[in-house]
Structure 1
Amino acid sequence: MSDPIKILDGAVTLYQRTSNGARTWTARYKIKGAKGYVVAATGKRDLEEAKEVARERFYELTADHRRGIAIHSRTFSKAVEAYLEDQQVAFTTGKSPSGRCATIRRIRCAAGPAS
């Protein structure tokens, strides 16, 4: 990883990953009041362009967080769990074939616990 470059009073850290051979800048965002970080590629090789993209994205993330819009992606396990809950409702209301119940149990076992 390249030496990190901090902008916006340290709320955004830009760095280049060296392990995957990519020369584009990645940004790590710390949004006030939000848990953890948001990490996203800027898609830019030029540092100044990457800074501009990172600034714009930071303000978008901040606005989304203030409006109550999720800024973190759902994990695969959480997405599977939401789907399975919908399928369980469909099954119990008769809108899904009975064979789906066994499929739902198998998917839950394969996906692991939602965290």
Structure 2
Amino acid sequence: MGQKKNPRRVSEGAAMAKGRLIRTSPQKLNLVAQLIRGMPVEKALAELTFSRKRISQNVKKVLESAIANAENNHDLDIDSLVVDQAFVGKNMVMKRWKARARGRVGRIQKPFSEITIVVKEVEEAA
């Protein structure tokens, strides 16, 4: 009997990768995700390689994982891949405390976020 096969979360001709528990705020991560939306993957990799943002190296790893998923799991041509979607979500928040004057406490929040990158195969229009 067994279980039924899960349906694909992305359309045919597309592949996805997720990066979870990335140690930055979603707002800062979204700035990097905006850089690569709609770009061909080779340009997006070059953009992330030379970006001055600290978190761009983590985004580059997720993009490389999406490219590898497209090539190995879905048999897509990596030369014709484009970053179709790159969206960011919240994840957990570490709460820390800092001693303040008169016995009070200051709350420090250290947010984590996650990024999802979807690459899609596009036919070259001549």
- TM-score, with length taken from structure 2: 0.22
Q: Which structure has the greater CA radius of gyration?
A: 1
Higher strand share: 2
Higher helix share: 1
Higher RCO structure, 1 or 2 (CA under 8 Å, sep 6+): 2
- TM-score, with length taken from structure 1: 0.24
